[in-house]
């Protein structure tokens, strides 16, 4: 997984450094955004996730594409005889100025691959906190709807300075 993160970030940086003949100013800035989520679903209860998103900030447009990889841990429920589970997920996403976004990808556990869609919105006045909703197409399971709260730290650069550091 670490190899994929490094490869993904290097790819984003190299794309962003590409010079375009018709442009003299910065065209795109690379960004990375580590995140941590805690959430709930009716089927399994509490879960938490860790993720890393990398992407490009298009300087002249408010649309921000990105790619995410992460891990999701379900706590399980002894009363309902539900075991703890760990999933790996990856998706692509797009956001409007980092305020609202959506994504599509897959979530994997023990070779089982399931489709995953996500929506998120920034909490007003708290720019590093997001409210999220994921729909995971688990077959014959009741844990399809996932609601959560994310904490993220977006870091971007124009190669002269790293922001917000």
User: Interior CA angle at 16 toward 11 and 17, to 5°?
Assistant: 100
- Coil vs helix vs strand at 24: coil
Closest CA to 47 of 77, 24, 21, 20: 77
Q: Look up tokens 């870091």; give the residue.
A: 155
The predicted pLDDT at position 55 comes to: 86
Bridge partners of 123, per DSSP, are 126
CB 154 within 8 A of CB 164: yes
Residue 111: its pLDDT value, please? 86
* Domains of the chain (ranges, CATH numbers): 2-163 (2.40.160.20)
Question: How confident is the chain (165 residues) per 10-residue block, as mean pLDDT?
Answer: 64 58 62 91 82 85 89 76 81 91 92 91 88 84 81 79 63
The contacts of residue 38 (CB under 8 Å, 6+ apart) are: 46, 47, 48, 148, 149
> Taking the model in full, what pTM does it have?
0.78
């Amino acid at each position: 997984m670490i190899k994929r993160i490094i490869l993904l970030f290097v790819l984003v940086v190299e794309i962003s450094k590409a010079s375009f003949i018709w442009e003299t100013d910065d065209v795109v800035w690379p960004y990375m955004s580590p995140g941590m989520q805690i959430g709930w679903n009716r089927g399994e209860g509490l879960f938490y996730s860790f993720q890393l998103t990398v992407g490009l900030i298009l300087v002249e447009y408010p649309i921000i594409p990105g790619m995410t990889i992460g891990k999701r841990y379900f706590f399980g429920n002894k009363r309902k005889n539900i075991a703890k589970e760990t999933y790996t997920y990856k998706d692509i996403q797009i956001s409007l100025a980092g305020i609202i976004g959506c994504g599509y990808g897959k979530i994997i556990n023990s070779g089982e691959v399931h489709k995953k869609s996500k929506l998120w919105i920034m909490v007003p006045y708290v720019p590093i906190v997001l409210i999220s909703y994921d729909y995971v197409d688990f077959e014959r399971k009741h844990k399809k709807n996932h609601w959560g709260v994310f904490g993220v730290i977006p870091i971007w650069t124009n190669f002269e300075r790293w922001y917000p550091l």
